């Protein structure tokens, strides 16, 4: 992995003690009953990590969201009109297998416990990958996850509609079992208070001409988070996920990973390591890691997936 520590000059490292002290008056720890809903969601997340990492983060995000609502209300009064407060959009980026989806689910659950009236949706940019048929026709299957494999125009249109508080905006859905976009399924996003958009590409500076000006994904974000980890941890997590998907596909011929079920364990491990090195590691170094510096918050994980470093962007 390339050394990108020099990019962190834009960020300040915060100790876990100082982080847990953030917004202390509002940092009410979860009780056992509240924690149970998160434990049911993600088994290996401890109540200490939830209370010391996620609760302060939920307070920080709520402060930003409250500021947005206050600004929107002030604008309404100035204009003499009542307008819909635009959704607060959080971008969550990071490598393949870094745990972006798990992080987003926990963050959503914590915020729903803390702020019960909020409507929160999660959308993954995997759904905006071109279908496999399109990628195969253009020899891009080996670059799946790279910038050129995404329908950037559709993602921009989706974000623009959500940001403009349009009713029932639809996002495509991706299946890791089928390893493709599901053509007959969509996720409805209907004016949420908060939208969490997670994906390896959310902080990449892909541009589209809109109203004669360049627009990038982060222009739609109110806050962005990068989930970081050492390359050897990421490769281990990817291998574990690959083998888990392979194991789950043994009795399902329609599952994409069923084709790996008939080969030996050693061949499957070798195959996963090759995929990691030739595709995911290359994508990580070329397209994902360079975006880390753009995040408002960088959360670094140790080997057991626990967050052990917090870097907040200097304001």
Residue 88, Cβ neighbours under 10 Å: how many? 23
Mean per-residue pLDDT for 123-133?
Answer: 97
Q: How confident is the model at residue 104 (pLDDT cuts 50, 70, 90)?
A: very high
User: In whole numbers, what is the pLDDT of the chain averaged over residues?
Assistant: 89
Residue 211 has pLDDT above 70, yes or no: no
Mean per-residue pLDDT for 157-169?
Answer: 95
Report the b/e string of 57-78 with b at 16+ CB within 10 A: bbbbbbeebeebeeeeeeeeee
Domains (range + CATH), the chain: 5-313 (3.40.50.300)
- Residues 22-70 pLDDT 10s: 767 667 888 888 898 898 888 788 999 999 999 999 999 999 998 887 7
Residue 1 has pLDDT above 70, yes or no: no
Mean per-residue pLDDT for 262-290?
Answer: 95
Residue 177, Cβ neighbours under 10 Å: how many? 14
Range name among 133-137, 212-216, 260-264 with the lowest pLDDT average? 212-216
Q: Can you list the alpha helix ranges (DSSP code H) found in the chain? A: 16-21, 32-41, 47-49, 55-79, 100-114, 132-137, 152-163, 231-248, 265-275, 281-283
CA distance 35 to 181: 33
Q: How much is the pTM?
A: 0.91
């Amino acid at each position: 992995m390339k050394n990108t520590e020099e990019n962190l000059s834009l960020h300040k490292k915060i100790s876990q003690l100082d982080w847990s002290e953030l917004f202390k008056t509002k940092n009410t720890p979860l009780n056992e009953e509240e924690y149970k809903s998160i434990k049911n969601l993600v088994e290996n997340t401890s109540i200490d990590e939830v209370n010391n990492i996620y609760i302060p983060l939920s307070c920080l995000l709520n402060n930003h969201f409250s500021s947005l609502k206050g600004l929107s209300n002030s604008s309404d009064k100035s204009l003499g009109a009542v307008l819909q407060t635009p959704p607060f959009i959080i971008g969550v980026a990071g490598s393949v297998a870094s745990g972006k989806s798990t992080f987003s689910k926990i963050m959503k659950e914590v915020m729903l416990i803390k702020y019960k009236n909020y409507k929160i949706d999660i959308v993954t940019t995997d759904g905006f990958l071109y279908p496999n048929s399109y990628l195969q026709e253009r020899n891009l299957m080996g670059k799946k996850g790279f910038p050129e494999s995404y329908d950037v125009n559709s993602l921009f249109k989706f974000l623009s509609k959500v940001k403009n508080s349009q009713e029932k905006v639809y996002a495509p859905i991706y299946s890791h079992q089928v390893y493709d976009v599901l053509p007959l399924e969509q996720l409805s996003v209907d004016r949420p208070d908060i939208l969490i958009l997670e994906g390896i590409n959310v902080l990449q500076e892909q541009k589209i001409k809109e109203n004669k000006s360049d627009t990038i994904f982060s222009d739609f974000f109110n806050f962005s988070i990068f989930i970081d980890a050492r390359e050897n941890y990421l490769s281990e997590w990817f291998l574990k996920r690959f083998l888990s998907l392979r194991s789950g596909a043994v009795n399902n011929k329609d599952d994409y990973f069923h084709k790996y079920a008939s080969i030996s364990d050693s061949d499957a491990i070798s195959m996963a390591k090759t995929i990691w090195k030739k595709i995911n590691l290359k994508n990580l170094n070329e397209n994902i890691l360079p975006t880390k510096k753009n995040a408002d918050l960088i959360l670094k994980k140790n080997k057991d997936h626990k967050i052990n470093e917090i870097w907040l962007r200097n304001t």
